[in-house]
Amino acid sequence: MSDKRLAGRVALVTGASSGIGNAIAAKFGAEGASVVVADIRREPKLEDEQSVFDRLDAVGADYEFVEMDVTDEDAIIDALETAQAEFGGLDILVNNAGIYFQNQAHETPIDEYDAIMDVNLRGVFLASKHALESLKVSDHGKIINLSSIYGLVGGPNSAAYCASKGGVSNLTRQLALDYASDEINVNALAPGIIETAQNAEWRETDEELLADWQASTPWPRFGTPEDVADAALFLASDESEFVTGHVLRVDGGWTAW
Ligand code: NAD
Protein backbone atom coordinates (compact mmCIF):
# COMPACT_ATOMS: atom_id res chain seq x y z
CA MET A 1 0.00 0.00 0.00
CA SER A 2 1.21 3.51 -0.82
CA ASP A 3 2.39 5.63 2.08
CA LYS A 4 1.54 8.81 0.17
CA ARG A 5 -0.90 10.95 2.09
CA LEU A 6 -3.35 11.52 -0.78
CA ALA A 7 -2.96 8.21 -2.60
CA GLY A 8 -6.02 7.48 -4.72
CA ARG A 9 -7.64 10.88 -4.09
CA VAL A 10 -8.86 13.23 -6.83
CA ALA A 11 -8.32 16.96 -6.35
CA LEU A 12 -9.53 19.93 -8.36
CA VAL A 13 -7.49 23.08 -7.77
CA THR A 14 -8.75 26.38 -9.21
CA GLY A 15 -6.14 28.95 -10.23
CA ALA A 16 -3.56 26.17 -10.26
CA SER A 17 -1.27 27.52 -12.99
CA SER A 18 0.48 30.09 -10.80
CA GLY A 19 1.53 30.86 -7.27
CA ILE A 20 -0.17 29.16 -4.35
CA GLY A 21 -2.46 27.01 -6.51
CA ASN A 22 0.51 25.79 -8.55
CA ALA A 23 2.31 24.73 -5.35
CA ILE A 24 -0.81 23.04 -3.94
CA ALA A 25 -1.45 21.11 -7.17
CA ALA A 26 2.20 20.00 -7.32
CA LYS A 27 2.24 18.94 -3.65
CA PHE A 28 -1.03 17.04 -3.92
CA GLY A 29 0.28 15.28 -7.03
CA ALA A 30 3.50 14.37 -5.23
CA GLU A 31 1.38 12.88 -2.43
CA GLY A 32 -0.45 10.60 -4.84
CA ALA A 33 -3.51 12.62 -5.86
CA SER A 34 -4.81 12.89 -9.40
CA VAL A 35 -5.17 16.58 -10.08
CA VAL A 36 -7.51 18.66 -12.23
CA VAL A 37 -5.64 21.90 -12.91
CA ALA A 38 -8.36 24.50 -13.51
CA ASP A 39 -7.34 27.97 -14.59
CA ILE A 40 -8.02 30.67 -17.16
CA ARG A 41 -4.42 30.27 -18.38
CA ARG A 42 -1.88 27.45 -18.68
CA GLU A 43 1.36 29.31 -18.11
CA PRO A 44 2.46 30.66 -14.73
CA LYS A 45 2.24 34.40 -14.30
CA LEU A 46 5.84 34.98 -13.16
CA GLU A 47 8.81 34.28 -15.42
CA ASP A 48 10.73 32.39 -12.75
CA GLU A 49 7.81 30.12 -11.80
CA GLN A 50 7.96 26.49 -12.87
CA SER A 51 5.07 25.17 -14.93
CA VAL A 52 2.65 23.15 -12.80
CA PHE A 53 2.58 20.54 -15.56
CA ASP A 54 6.36 20.08 -15.40
CA ARG A 55 6.10 19.74 -11.64
CA LEU A 56 3.33 17.16 -11.91
CA ASP A 57 5.26 15.27 -14.61
CA ALA A 58 8.35 15.26 -12.36
CA VAL A 59 6.46 13.40 -9.61
CA GLY A 60 4.63 11.09 -12.00
CA ALA A 61 1.18 12.42 -11.09
CA ASP A 62 -1.95 11.99 -13.18
CA TYR A 63 -3.46 15.31 -14.16
CA GLU A 64 -5.78 17.09 -16.58
CA PHE A 65 -5.85 20.77 -17.47
CA VAL A 66 -9.24 22.42 -17.88
CA GLU A 67 -9.57 25.97 -19.05
CA MET A 68 -12.00 27.29 -16.47
CA ASP A 69 -13.07 30.69 -15.26
CA VAL A 70 -14.57 30.44 -11.76
CA THR A 71 -17.09 33.13 -12.69
CA ASP A 72 -18.53 30.84 -15.39
CA GLU A 73 -20.95 28.31 -13.90
CA ASP A 74 -21.02 26.10 -17.02
CA ALA A 75 -17.21 25.95 -17.08
CA ILE A 76 -17.21 24.83 -13.44
CA ILE A 77 -19.71 22.07 -14.23
CA ASP A 78 -17.55 20.98 -17.19
CA ALA A 79 -14.45 20.86 -15.00
CA LEU A 80 -16.24 18.69 -12.45
CA GLU A 81 -17.37 16.41 -15.26
CA THR A 82 -13.72 16.09 -16.31
CA ALA A 83 -12.83 14.97 -12.77
CA GLN A 84 -15.61 12.39 -12.94
CA ALA A 85 -14.80 11.17 -16.46
CA GLU A 86 -11.00 11.06 -16.12
CA PHE A 87 -10.55 10.08 -12.49
CA GLY A 88 -13.90 8.70 -11.33
CA GLY A 89 -15.07 11.48 -9.00
CA LEU A 90 -13.81 14.18 -6.68
CA ASP A 91 -12.45 14.09 -3.14
CA ILE A 92 -10.81 17.49 -2.67
CA LEU A 93 -11.86 20.89 -3.99
CA VAL A 94 -9.38 23.72 -3.51
CA ASN A 95 -10.99 27.09 -4.17
CA ASN A 96 -7.79 29.01 -4.76
CA ALA A 97 -8.39 31.32 -7.76
CA GLY A 98 -8.35 34.90 -6.62
CA ILE A 99 -7.53 38.45 -7.66
CA TYR A 100 -6.41 41.51 -5.71
CA PHE A 101 -6.60 45.22 -6.44
CA GLN A 102 -5.69 48.01 -4.05
CA ASN A 103 -8.13 50.81 -3.41
CA GLN A 104 -9.96 52.52 -0.61
CA ALA A 105 -13.74 52.22 -0.79
CA HIS A 106 -14.35 55.78 -2.00
CA GLU A 107 -12.05 55.32 -4.99
CA THR A 108 -13.00 51.75 -5.95
CA PRO A 109 -14.62 51.57 -9.39
CA ILE A 110 -17.72 49.42 -9.08
CA ASP A 111 -16.44 47.20 -11.91
CA GLU A 112 -13.39 46.44 -9.79
CA TYR A 113 -15.57 45.63 -6.77
CA ASP A 114 -17.75 43.35 -8.91
CA ALA A 115 -14.74 41.59 -10.43
CA ILE A 116 -13.20 40.87 -7.03
CA MET A 117 -16.46 39.63 -5.57
CA ASP A 118 -17.19 37.51 -8.66
CA VAL A 119 -13.87 35.69 -8.63
CA ASN A 120 -13.02 35.60 -4.93
CA LEU A 121 -16.42 34.92 -3.37
CA ARG A 122 -19.03 34.01 -5.99
CA GLY A 123 -16.47 31.65 -7.59
CA VAL A 124 -15.93 29.87 -4.28
CA PHE A 125 -19.68 29.57 -3.76
CA LEU A 126 -20.35 28.25 -7.26
CA ALA A 127 -17.54 25.69 -7.33
CA SER A 128 -18.49 24.46 -3.86
CA LYS A 129 -22.17 24.28 -4.78
CA HIS A 130 -21.52 22.06 -7.79
CA ALA A 131 -18.76 19.96 -6.18
CA LEU A 132 -20.82 18.97 -3.15
CA GLU A 133 -22.70 16.21 -4.94
CA SER A 134 -19.40 14.43 -5.72
CA LEU A 135 -17.90 15.23 -2.32
CA LYS A 136 -20.91 13.67 -0.58
CA VAL A 137 -20.22 10.30 -2.16
CA SER A 138 -16.48 10.51 -1.46
CA ASP A 139 -15.16 8.89 1.71
CA HIS A 140 -12.67 11.76 2.05
CA GLY A 141 -14.60 14.88 1.00
CA LYS A 142 -12.71 18.13 1.60
CA ILE A 143 -13.18 21.74 0.61
CA ILE A 144 -10.23 24.06 1.16
CA ASN A 145 -10.87 27.74 0.50
CA LEU A 146 -8.24 30.43 0.07
CA SER A 147 -9.20 33.22 2.38
CA SER A 148 -6.55 35.68 3.59
CA ILE A 149 -5.37 37.58 6.62
CA TYR A 150 -7.62 40.21 5.03
CA GLY A 151 -10.50 37.80 5.53
CA LEU A 152 -9.88 37.95 9.28
CA VAL A 153 -8.78 41.54 9.88
CA GLY A 154 -9.02 44.72 7.86
CA GLY A 155 -6.16 45.81 5.63
CA PRO A 156 -5.39 49.24 4.23
CA ASN A 157 -6.47 50.12 0.67
CA SER A 158 -8.18 46.79 0.15
CA ALA A 159 -11.89 47.40 0.66
CA ALA A 160 -13.33 45.07 -1.96
CA TYR A 161 -10.72 42.37 -1.34
CA CYS A 162 -11.38 42.43 2.42
CA ALA A 163 -15.12 42.17 1.77
CA SER A 164 -14.61 39.18 -0.50
CA LYS A 165 -12.22 37.33 1.81
CA GLY A 166 -14.35 38.04 4.88
CA GLY A 167 -17.14 36.35 2.94
CA VAL A 168 -14.90 33.38 2.16
CA SER A 169 -14.01 32.93 5.86
CA ASN A 170 -17.63 32.91 6.98
CA LEU A 171 -18.85 30.84 4.02
CA THR A 172 -16.25 28.29 5.10
CA ARG A 173 -17.72 28.11 8.61
CA GLN A 174 -21.27 27.95 7.21
CA LEU A 175 -20.52 25.12 4.78
CA ALA A 176 -18.70 23.23 7.54
CA LEU A 177 -21.92 23.19 9.57
CA ASP A 178 -24.23 22.10 6.76
CA TYR A 179 -22.01 19.29 5.49
CA ALA A 180 -20.51 17.95 8.73
CA SER A 181 -23.11 15.18 8.79
CA ASP A 182 -21.83 14.14 5.34
CA GLU A 183 -18.30 14.08 6.80
CA ILE A 184 -17.08 16.73 4.38
CA ASN A 185 -14.41 18.87 6.00
CA VAL A 186 -14.63 22.52 4.98
CA ASN A 187 -11.70 24.69 6.01
CA ALA A 188 -9.87 27.77 4.81
CA LEU A 189 -6.33 29.04 4.69
CA ALA A 190 -5.53 32.63 5.60
CA PRO A 191 -2.14 33.44 4.10
CA GLY A 192 -0.18 36.53 4.99
CA ILE A 193 2.20 38.02 2.43
CA ILE A 194 3.17 35.19 0.11
CA GLU A 195 5.64 35.94 -2.68
CA THR A 196 3.54 35.43 -5.82
CA ALA A 197 2.43 37.38 -8.88
CA GLN A 198 -0.50 38.74 -6.88
CA ASN A 199 1.72 41.17 -5.01
CA ALA A 200 4.93 41.14 -7.09
CA GLU A 201 4.37 44.60 -8.53
CA TRP A 202 4.08 46.24 -5.11
CA ARG A 203 6.94 44.25 -3.60
CA GLU A 204 9.16 45.35 -6.46
CA THR A 205 8.11 48.97 -6.88
CA ASP A 206 6.59 50.33 -3.67
CA GLU A 207 9.29 50.60 -1.00
CA GLU A 208 6.97 52.13 1.56
CA LEU A 209 4.38 49.40 1.21
CA LEU A 210 7.09 46.74 1.22
CA ALA A 211 8.42 48.15 4.50
CA ASP A 212 4.87 48.16 5.96
CA TRP A 213 4.36 44.54 4.98
CA GLN A 214 7.74 43.57 6.45
CA ALA A 215 6.97 45.42 9.69
CA SER A 216 3.59 43.65 9.94
CA THR A 217 5.16 40.20 9.51
CA PRO A 218 6.92 39.15 12.74
CA TRP A 219 8.59 36.14 11.05
CA PRO A 220 11.80 37.36 9.39
CA ARG A 221 10.68 36.63 5.82
CA PHE A 222 7.57 36.59 3.67
CA GLY A 223 5.81 33.31 2.94
CA THR A 224 6.28 31.05 -0.03
CA PRO A 225 3.63 29.16 -1.98
CA GLU A 226 5.12 26.00 -0.46
CA ASP A 227 4.36 27.26 3.07
CA VAL A 228 0.69 27.46 2.09
CA ALA A 229 0.77 24.15 0.20
CA ASP A 230 2.08 22.38 3.32
CA ALA A 231 -0.88 23.68 5.31
CA ALA A 232 -3.25 22.72 2.47
CA LEU A 233 -1.84 19.19 2.53
CA PHE A 234 -2.70 18.91 6.23
CA LEU A 235 -6.27 20.05 5.52
CA ALA A 236 -6.55 17.63 2.58
CA SER A 237 -5.19 14.64 4.49
CA ASP A 238 -6.76 12.18 6.92
CA GLU A 239 -4.81 13.86 9.73
CA SER A 240 -7.34 16.71 9.79
CA GLU A 241 -10.38 14.41 10.00
CA PHE A 242 -11.85 16.26 13.03
CA VAL A 243 -10.92 19.76 11.84
CA THR A 244 -13.76 21.61 10.15
CA GLY A 245 -14.94 25.21 9.92
CA HIS A 246 -11.41 26.37 10.70
CA VAL A 247 -9.54 29.28 9.11
CA LEU A 248 -5.86 28.37 9.39
CA ARG A 249 -3.49 31.35 9.40
CA VAL A 250 -0.29 30.90 7.42
CA ASP A 251 0.90 34.42 8.01
CA GLY A 252 4.22 34.49 9.89
CA GLY A 253 2.37 36.03 12.83
CA TRP A 254 0.70 38.95 10.99
CA THR A 255 -2.57 38.45 12.93
CA ALA A 256 -0.85 37.62 16.25
CA TRP A 257 -0.24 41.23 17.23
P1 NAD B 1 -1.50 34.38 -8.40
O2 NAD B 1 -1.92 35.62 -9.07
O3 NAD B 1 -0.07 34.01 -8.34
O4 NAD B 1 -2.29 33.14 -8.99
C5 NAD B 1 -3.68 33.17 -9.16
C6 NAD B 1 -4.09 32.15 -10.21
O7 NAD B 1 -5.51 32.23 -10.31
C8 NAD B 1 -3.51 32.47 -11.60
O9 NAD B 1 -2.99 31.31 -12.19
C10 NAD B 1 -4.70 33.01 -12.36
O11 NAD B 1 -4.65 32.78 -13.75
C12 NAD B 1 -5.86 32.26 -11.69
N13 NAD B 1 -7.14 32.96 -11.85
C14 NAD B 1 -7.38 34.29 -11.72
N15 NAD B 1 -8.66 34.55 -11.98
C16 NAD B 1 -9.24 33.35 -12.28
C17 NAD B 1 -10.56 32.98 -12.63
N18 NAD B 1 -11.53 33.88 -12.78
N19 NAD B 1 -10.82 31.66 -12.84
C20 NAD B 1 -9.84 30.75 -12.73
N21 NAD B 1 -8.57 31.05 -12.41
C22 NAD B 1 -8.28 32.35 -12.19
O23 NAD B 1 -2.10 34.53 -6.92
P24 NAD B 1 -1.75 33.77 -5.54
O25 NAD B 1 -1.01 34.72 -4.69
O26 NAD B 1 -1.21 32.42 -5.80
O27 NAD B 1 -3.21 33.69 -4.93
C28 NAD B 1 -3.92 32.46 -4.75
C29 NAD B 1 -5.01 32.68 -3.73
O30 NAD B 1 -4.42 33.01 -2.47
C31 NAD B 1 -5.95 33.85 -4.05
O32 NAD B 1 -7.27 33.52 -3.68
C33 NAD B 1 -5.41 34.96 -3.22
O34 NAD B 1 -6.35 35.97 -2.95
C35 NAD B 1 -5.00 34.20 -1.98
N36 NAD B 1 -4.02 34.92 -1.14
C37 NAD B 1 -2.81 35.28 -1.63
C38 NAD B 1 -1.91 35.97 -0.81
C39 NAD B 1 -0.56 36.39 -1.28
O40 NAD B 1 0.12 37.12 -0.53
N41 NAD B 1 -0.09 36.02 -2.44
C42 NAD B 1 -2.30 36.28 0.49
C43 NAD B 1 -3.54 35.91 0.96
C44 NAD B 1 -4.40 35.21 0.13
In a domain, 254, yes or no: no
In a domain, 229, yes or no: yes
- Helices 73-87, 123-137: inter-axial angle, 10-degree rounding: 30
Beta-bridge partners for 187: 144
What confidence tens digit (pLDDT) does each residue in 34-86 have? 999 999 999 999 999 999 999 999 999 999 999 999 999 999 999 999 999 99
In a domain, 93, yes or no: yes
In a domain, 144, yes or no: yes
What confidence tens digit (pLDDT) does each residue in 178-221 have? 999 999 999 999 999 999 999 999 999 999 999 999 999 999 99
**Which residues 6+ apart lie within 8 Å of 153 measured at CB?**
255
In a domain, 255, yes or no: no
**Which residues 6+ apart lie within 8 Å of 213 measured at CB?**
193, 203, 222
In a domain, 3, yes or no: no
Which residue, by CA, sits nearest to atom 17 of ligand 1?
A: 69
- Whether residue 228 has its Cβ less than 6 Å from ligand 1: no
In a domain, 224, yes or no: yes
Which ligand 1 atom lies nearest to the CA of residue 70? 19
Domain CATH number, residue 108:
3.40.50.720
Q: Is residue 237 within a helix (H) or strand (E), and if so which, with residue range?
A: none
In a domain, 35, yes or no: yes
pLDDT band of 1, cuts 50, 70, 90? low
**Which residues 6+ apart lie within 8 Å of 116 measured at CB?**
99, 100, 101, 160, 161, 163, 164
What confidence tens digit (pLDDT) does each residue in 115-136 have? 999 999 999 999 999 999 999 9
- Whether residue 145 has its Cβ less than 6 Å from ligand 1: no
Query: Which structural domain range is residue 206 located in?
Result: 10-249
Which ligand 1 atom lies nearest to the CA of residue 20? 26
Q: Let me know if 179 is a catalytic residue.
A: no
Average pLDDT (12-37) is 99
Beta-bridge partners for 14: 38
Domain count, the chain: 1
How many residues would you count in the chain?
257
Report how far ligand 1's centroid is from the alpha carbon of 51 (Å).
Answer: 15
